[in-house]
Amino acid sequence: MDAISYERAADIAGAVRAAQQPGAVFIGGGTNLLDLMKGGVERPVRLIDITHIGGLDGITTLPDGGIRIGALVRNSDAANHALVREQYPLLSQAFLSGASSQLRNMATVGGNLLQRTRCGYFYDTAFSQCNKRALGSGCAALEGHNRMHAILGASTQCVAVNPSDMSVALAALDAVVRVSGPAGERSIPFAEFHRLPGDRPDVDTTLRPGELITAVDLPTPIFSAHSHYLKVRDRASYAFALVSVAAALQMDGERVHTARIALGGVAHKPWRASAAEQMLNGQPLTQATLNHAAAAALRDARPLAGNRFKVQLAQRAIVRAVNQAAGRAGGVA
């Protein structure tokens, strides 16, 4: 059994200072970290408990009309907060589609951002080949069971997907992650927060050593009237996405003024479907335009032996999610 020390941080500065010690990791809700520790995937030397830091567990309005969600806000509290439900229903839906109610009651927003892939080879230390767990060891999923794995943006080193529903909605909403670290505070645009695997699949985010996530900022709500989070999974609850779509529209009559589409379950990070967005922006929302946009979103897909079905599934999910965001019943392309 490994010895682990425990320290309770009283404030942000103390947490950042404590995190400079070798082998230190922050713990909030612990819903993913403790699983990883039990399986021997993560072996921290020091746990820095951040749950008693004041000021990180609230949701407040910003001068530009956006909102700030503290990193320690529990997923269930965020999902059910009036400001989130009314102004960012896409995000509320994404929260409620993730995990179970028990887990949502414990998991924090900051922790959700950092949850690690659910690739089975990553969690099972009996498999020696996993570049995310042991860089340079190989990737068992490439030739193994890869039904749940990536079809976009993967590398020969890792084909894992990001498991977070919340992050897919935050990608579509152009959120900003606020962090505090040894060099001070900084803001990270959401598109730059999670990484593609490249040749460093062991690194999931662009956080620097010792940086603590303090909040997530959402810009002025412009999609509250037309948005939808669609999650396609093997069972109705408590399952990770095969494919998910966060669709947000600003409509001008029957014409799309601005479209935002992000995909989950398809890449190492929440995947913005920028080509599809550009094909929809300024156009009447016809079924033909939407079908073309959905096809464009998957143009660069490189499926594996076990997940070729995801390409068409993602296209159809985009069509359904955008139609539902627009208030239409139409679904299948």
Q: Which residues bind ligand SF4 (CB under 6 A)?
A: 117, 119, 121-122, 130-132, 139-141, 149, 158-160, 201
Q: Give strand pairing partners of 188.
A: 177
Secondary structure class of 211 (helix, strand, coil): coil
Q: Phi and psi (nearest 5°) for 242?
A: -70, -45
The residue (of 67 and 263) whose beta carbon lies closer to ligand SF4 is 263
Question: Cβ of residue 158: shortest distance to ligand SF4, in angstroms?
Answer: 3
CA distance linking residue 271 with residue 196, whole number of Å: 10
User: Which residues does residue 262 pair with via DSSP β-bridges, in sequence order?
Assistant: 246, 272
Taking the complex as a whole, the smallest distance from the CB of residue 293 to ligand SF4 amounts, in Å, to 29
**Nearest approach, Cβ of 198 to ligand SF4 (angstroms)?**
12
What's the full length of the chain, in residues?
333
Q: How far is the CB of 162 from ligand SF4 (least distance, A)?
A: 11
The beta strands (E) that lie in the chain are given as 5-8, 24-27, 46-49, 59-61, 67-70, 176-181, 184-189, 212-218, 227-232, 243-252, 255-264, 271-272
- Non-local (6+) Cβ contacts of 156 within 8 A are 139, 142
Least distance between ligand SF4 and beta carbon 278 (Å): 30
With respect to ligand SF4, which residue has the nearer C-beta, 149 or 316?
149
Nearer to ligand SF4, 198 or 219 (CB): 198
Instruction: Return the number of the residue (117 or 315) whose C-beta is nearest ligand SF4.
Output: 117
Give min distance, CB of 128 to ligand SF4, in A.
10
Torsion 77-80-83-84 (CA) sign: positive
Q: Smallest gap, in angstroms, from Cβ of residue 9 to ligand SF4?
A: 30
User: Which residues, at least 6 apart from 244, have a Cβ–Cβ distance to it below 8 Å?
Assistant: 94, 97, 165, 168, 229, 230, 231, 232, 263, 264, 265, 317
**Residue 131 or 214: which CB sits closer to ligand SF4?**
131
How far apart are alpha carbons 328 and 260 in whole angstroms? Answer: 17
Which residue, 159 or 293, has its beta carbon nearer to ligand SF4?
Answer: 159
Our CA dihedral for 61, 222, 162, 205, rounded to 10 degrees, sits at -60
88 or 122: CB nearest ligand SF4: 122
